[in-house]
Chains A and B, each alone.
Chain A
Amino acid sequence: MIGAKPRRILITGGNSGLGLALAQKLARRHSLLLSGRKSQTEVAEILPPGAGYVVADHGDPEMSARALVRGVRDFGWDGLDNAVLNAGTGFVAVGGVDSTDAIRQTLDVNLLAVMLQAQALYPLLRKSSGTLSLIGSVAHKGSASIPAYAASKAGLHGLARALRSEWSGDISVQVLHPGPAKTDMHDKAGYDPGRMRALFLAPDDVAAMMASAIAARRSPVTLSWVKYLNGGAYTGRRL
């Protein structure tokens, strides 16, 4: 794609795991604004050179949406070519049932914040005929060890399905469902995959599949071993 214009790309949860791996992949060719809950100083060393950073805690969904819009403006952008709403959290349901707090936090961070962010970013995306990518999970079909997490990702699936239709012609909306990847998420969630971890994909490979899925603008897309073994990390479109 020689001559392709650099894109203005917002990635939430861009300071760790899949979001960071994606940012590193895209940093050379594109202009990036990343977000996370940690402060600027905590993440300064980690971020790819040139990338902007804005603090937006999804734990307060309304405030996080406002923070992102302000972050985009302060960064000097008047539109957005891509928004990758990737930040997410999860808790293993101890004893098989999520606590009330875990249910509320998971839904706030993974689903409600994304909903309100999508709404708030709409004018910016529309202006650039941009692409909105929601990061779901293969767990969106259900999981007994993480019921609230699975529910939140199913919500993203339904949201993307409806919005893709509502916004067709203006903004491309898609949901990408990664399979298990070797990020810190499982530790944070209180889940020890044990030897299963060997089967998890490298964040870098998942990020490569995310990038080509984002360029292709199809939805929904599952990013797991099947796709990987079919060369998903090396072939396909380039963003």
Chain B
Amino acid sequence: MTSASKRALVTGGSAGLGAASVGWLQANGYEIVVLDRDRPWTGKTPVQFIRCDLASRTELDDVLPDLIAAGPYDLVLLNAGINATGKFEALDPRAHIDILRVNTEAPMVIAAALLESNACRSGGAMVFVSSLSHFTGYPGAASYAASKDALAIYARSMRKYAASRGVTLTVAFPGPLKTDHAERHSPEGADDSKRMDPDHAARLILADALAGKKSSIPGAGNRVFAVIGRVFPKPVTAVMRRLIYTRLKP
């Protein structure tokens, strides 16, 4: 690796928003490290692949040194995430545990380790992928909502420390995307034309990250929804309940 080349780490880079981001970054001259679970990377341009199931603490502990050694990074996209929709009390407790481990704990551990060991270049950017649910509430995915709120606030709390290392932190709040993830977890008969194309979302999020913005809400409609959710949290959560919770498959 020459120091002139730009380098990026993308967790959950094998599918969805992560894969779309890898595509955009490669097109813009980045060398890529992908961390993902069991799916090997299948894109055109090769990447350095690090296999890890982020639900497992021991697996993450095992690969952390490799992750650090594969740096330093100009951009880190902490994107890997899982969801489980359903009535909170009816879901398998294992699902709640995995959601918290993958969506919150793992990116927090990775971010702390990379920043502390100077595996992010000064002038670089780190992106935490939260969710639009941060502004709207998410009845029907309570543990997911909790996991993404926790991540957003961790990022906000770490901004000063990251800045001391010359790294900007961006929190992305994407709304529904046309990915397998969203398809699995949206109610039957939901209108998928309202979901955003992941390539488009990736482009917008990465542009915001490279501009050093604190937050990125891709899509004008989503930004409006976020503002309304901030001003009128209760009615917006009630709308979410009608759109999602009451339509859950029994």
Q: Does B153 sit within 8 A of A, measured CB to CB?
A: yes
Q: Does B203 sit within 8 A of A, measured CB to CB?
A: no
A residues sitting closer than 8 Å to B (CB atoms) are 61-62, 65, 96-100, 103-104, 107, 111-112, 115-116, 118-119, 122-123, 140-144, 146-148, 150-159, 161-163, 165-167
A–B pairs, 18, beta carbons within 8 Å: A96-B164, A97-B116, A97-B158, A107-B104, A107-B108, A111-B146, A111-B150, A112-B96, A119-B88, A142-B153, A144-B159, A147-B108, A147-B161, A150-B156, A158-B133, A158-B145, A159-B142, A162-B139
Partner among A96, A116, A122, A165 whose Cβ is within 8 Å of the Cβ of B137: A165
Task: Report Cα–Cα, A166/B145, bound state, in Å.
Answer: 13
Please tell me if the beta carbons of A151 and B157 are within 8 angstroms of each other in the complex: yes
Task: Report Cα–Cα, A103/B96, bound state, in Å.
Answer: 17
Please give the distance in Å from B67's CB to the nearest CB on chain A: 13
Task: Report Cα–Cα, A123/B87, bound state, in Å.
Answer: 13
Partner among A103, A162, A167 whose Cβ is within 8 Å of the Cβ of B109: A103
Please tell me if the beta carbons of A166 and B108 are within 8 angstroms of each other in the complex: no
Q: Does B210 sit within 8 A of A, measured CB to CB?
A: no
Taking A96-B161, A97-B161, A162-B139 as contacts, is the C-beta distance between A148 and B97 under 8 angstroms? Answer: no
Taking A143-B157, A146-B157 as contacts, is the C-beta distance between A158 and B146 under 8 angstroms? Answer: yes
Taking A119-B96, A159-B146 as contacts, is the C-beta distance between A107 and B87 under 8 angstroms? Answer: no
Residues of A within 8 A of B108 (CB): 98, 103, 107, 147-148, 151
Q: How many A-B residue pairs have CB under 8 A?
A: 147
SS of B interface (majority): helix
Please tell me if the beta carbons of A141 and B89 are within 8 angstroms of each other in the complex: no
Q: Which residue of A lies closest to B149 (CB)?
A: A158
Task: Report Cα–Cα, A166/B164, bound state, in Å.
Answer: 41
SS of A interface (majority): helix
Please tell me if the beta carbons of B100 and A107 are within 8 angstroms of each other in the complex: yes
Residues of A within 8 A of B149 (CB): 154-155, 157-158
Please tell me if the beta carbons of B138 and A100 are within 8 angstroms of each other in the complex: no
Please tell me if the beta carbons of A144 and B153 are within 8 angstroms of each other in the complex: no
Please give the distance in Å from B157's CB to the nearest CB on chain A: 4
Please give the distance in Å from B154's CB to the nearest CB on chain A: 4
Residues of A within 8 A of B139 (CB): 162-163, 165-166
Residues of B within 8 A of A165 (CB): 137, 139, 237-238, 240-241, 245
Please tell me if the beta carbons of A116 and B96 are within 8 angstroms of each other in the complex: yes
Please give the distance in Å from B60's CB to the nearest CB on chain A: 9
Q: Which residue of B lies closest to A163 (CB)?
A: B142
Please tell me if the beta carbons of B109 and A115 are within 8 angstroms of each other in the complex: no
Residues of A within 8 A of B146 (CB): 111, 115, 155-156, 158-159, 162
Please tell me if the beta carbons of B156 and A161 are within 8 angstroms of each other in the complex: no
Please tell me if the beta carbons of A150 and B154 are within 8 angstroms of each other in the complex: yes
Q: Which residue of B lies closest to A152 (CB)?
A: B150
Please give the distance in Å from B14's CB to the nearest CB on chain A: 25
